[in-house]
Amino acid sequence: MFLKTFCVTFVAGSLALAVSAPADIVGFPEKNPVFTVEVPKDAKVKWEGDQLRIFPAKHQGDVSFSALPDKVHDDASARAWLAEVLSIHTLNYSGLDRPPALPVPEKRAPIGSGAHGFAAEGPAGNYVWINKTNEQVQPEYYFEAVFTLDDKKYFSIHSDDNVQLETLLYGSNGQLEFYSERNRIVDSIKPVK
């Protein structure tokens, strides 16, 4: 009887492990996930309230996911939200002239598998001024996106990376490796069935 009970328990446990998601896939939101993302090996996953933050190993940047308020409910409100976020990046600058914010894309584009929305990436103000004035400032490079899977609920992606520190610690390839990790995370977005 013991052997039979052990075998049934062992087989049931093995099946449960085989069916459960691997440790490198995280659902968002934390409760009642709507989509999943793949987390790179050795990356740190941190929940801060309703925000999911993924910190790829050996990099200074992160990728975060948030649910947007209900006032973001269609393409027009999604584009307006993204324009406001992009304008914030121009506040981080040196010099007398404020650099312009990146434009918001006119048309939707695929984001991950089954999602679509609007995305923009570029240097924050200080990075622009390094090239123009040779000032010693902390440059950042960012990625911002707003997307939906069902045209009802919208989510955001935010990512930034300290260019100077990344290059100092990991060489010129460090920055490119971070962008590659970030793009793999974003491209892995899949709706929960």
Q: What sign has the CA pseudo-torsion 130, 88, 190, 55? A: positive
Looking at the domain 24-191, which fold is it? Protein Transport Mog1p; Chain A (3.40.1000)
Q: Where are the domains of the chain?
A: 24-191
Judged against a pLDDT cut of 60, whether residue 26 lies above it is answered with yes
Instruction: Identify whether the C-beta of residue 82 lies closer than 8 Å to the C-beta of residue 144.
Output: yes
For 36-50, write each residue's pLDDT tens digit.
Answer: 999 998 999 999 999
Name residue 63's beta-bridge partners: 54, 159
* pTM score, whole prediction: 0.78
CA distances from 2 to 5, 11, 12, 15, 35 (A): 5, 14, 15, 20, 42
Q: Give buried/exposed letters for 84-117 (b at 16+ CB in 10 A, else e).
A: ebbeebeebbeeeeebebbebeeebeebbeebeb
Judged against a pLDDT cut of 60, whether residue 4 lies above it is answered with no
Q: How far apart are CA 137 and CA 130, in angstroms?
A: 7
